[in-house]
Amino acid sequence: MIYLTTFGMKDQLRDVVYSCIKDHIRNEGGINVTMVSGDHLETAKAVALKAGILDEEDMSHQYSVMTAD
């Protein structure tokens, strides 16, 4: 048996995601965003942080991020 390689791939968020969240949601646009993901919880957190859906302050709230359990 020979080990060949490990491969990882990351999907990039579309540029429009950043501007939409910044302009309409975070600036008191009155829109609540719920992101539903099939990813692992830590991966979903990282994506939400990167997109601007959550910030570091949000992560301290108990129900900002949850699993289906």
**Contacts (Cβ under 8 Å, ≥6 apart) of 25:** 31, 33, 52, 53
How many structural domains comprise the chain? 1
> Containing domain of residue 22, as a range?
1-69
What pLDDT does 62 receive?
A: 63
Residues 21, 53 contacting (CB under 8 angstroms): yes
What pLDDT does 26 receive?
A: 60
What pLDDT does 27 receive?
A: 61
pTM of the model: 0.65
